[in-house]
């Protein structure tokens, strides 16, 4: 894979430590992390990887990823895909743009609709992929359309109705060979002071209820219909439970934290035990919100 550098498809980091690329801060390595500068470089690189049958994955902020081992392949970061255009209530933004940064920027302009995203780490592309959300809102409510790279490496526009947004999932999550390049988001005019008050109130609530002092990847499981995953996990006695360096947070039971040099295996074992315990007691199948990278 030394030829990867000769392709001149952006910055290439060899033997990259995944502590820098995931919010769980797990100490694994990836063969390569590549930062293409534009769509042409991305297409050139993907053509090479597909031709050589080399494993690859697009990653954003790594805020929903669980690596169980070293990644034998190429991780692709779209950080350079970060153009931003704001025209009245229409926002066109690159997939690599930081979601919290965007949400705060538009909120300070008096645009409402992204208040929910001011506490969600990651990139715009990752948020659309996962249909990230909070406070009864999500990306599906605000995304008008996205530009994607298809599995055939063609550029195409997909509209909201084609993106199949549902609770913590989307067309992109079910069709992982499609890559989000940018998005058009539609917001509304609002009262700037009221918007910022809502954001500040929610920030305080997060500080009170979430274990922000340890590395984690946010909510582990989706909330079952008319129920809460954290409540079920607590009721089966898993709050504070540890496996290796991974621990179910005592502050919020739907968070697993890397308390001390956790491995991906530690986290996955804890996930599987929780799923089994909740299934046995309540006959509820908890669905994973995070992704175990294969």
What is the secondary structure of the chain as a DSSP string?
Answer: -THHHHT--SEEEEEEEGGGT-TT----EEEEEEE-SSHHHHHHHHHHHHHTT--EEEESS-TTEEE-S-EEEEEEE-TT---EEEETTEEEEETTSBHHHHHHHHHHTTEES-GGGGG--SBHHHHHHHT-EETTEEGGGTEEEEEEE-TTS-EEEEEGGGS--BTTB-HHHH-TT-EEEEEEEE-EE--HHHHHHHHHHHHHHHHHHS-TTS-EEEESBPPPTTS-HHHHHHHTT-TT-EETTEEE-SS-TTEEEE-SS--HHHHHHHHHHHHHHHHHHH---PPBSSEEE-
CA distance 94 to 146: 10
* Catalytic residue IDs: 168, 219, 289
- Closest to 219 in 3D by CA, of 234, 203, 230: 230
């Amino acid at each position: 894979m030394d030829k990867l550098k000769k392709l001149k498809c952006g910055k290439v980091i060899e033997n990259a430590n995944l502590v820098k690329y995931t919010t769980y801060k797990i100490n694994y390595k990836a063969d390569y992390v590549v930062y293409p500068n534009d769509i042409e470089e991305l297409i050139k690189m993907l053509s090479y990887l597909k031709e050589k049958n080399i494993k690859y994955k697009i990653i954003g902020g790594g805020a929903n990823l669980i690596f169980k081992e070293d990644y034998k392949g190429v991780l692709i970061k779209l950080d350079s895909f970060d153009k931003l255009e704001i025209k009245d209530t229409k926002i066109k933004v690159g997939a690599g743009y930081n979601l919290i940064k965007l949400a705060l920027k538009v909120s300070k302009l008096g645009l409402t609709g992204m208040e929910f995203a001011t506490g969600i780490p990651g990139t715009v592309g990752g948020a659309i992929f996962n249909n990230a959300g909070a406070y009864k809102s999500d990306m599906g409510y605000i995304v008008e359309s996205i530009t994607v790279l298809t599995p055939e490496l063609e550029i195409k526009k997909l509209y909201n109705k084609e993106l199949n947004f549902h609770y913590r999932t989307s067309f992109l999550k079910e069709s992982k060979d499609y890559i989000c390049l940018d998005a058009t988001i539609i917001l509304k005019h609002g009262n700037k002071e009221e918007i910022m008050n809502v954001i500040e109130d929610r920030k305080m609530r997060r500080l009170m209820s979430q274990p922000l002092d340890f590395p984690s990847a946010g909510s582990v499981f989706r909330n079952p219909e008319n129920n809460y995953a954290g409540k079920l996990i607590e009721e089966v006695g898993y709050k504070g439970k540890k496996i290796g360096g991974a621990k179910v947070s005592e502050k919020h039971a739907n968070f697993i934290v890397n308390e001390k040099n956790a491995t991906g295996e530690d986290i996955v074992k804890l996930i599987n035990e929780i799923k089994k315990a909740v299934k046995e007691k309540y006959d509820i199948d908890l669905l994973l919100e995070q992704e175990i990278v294969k």
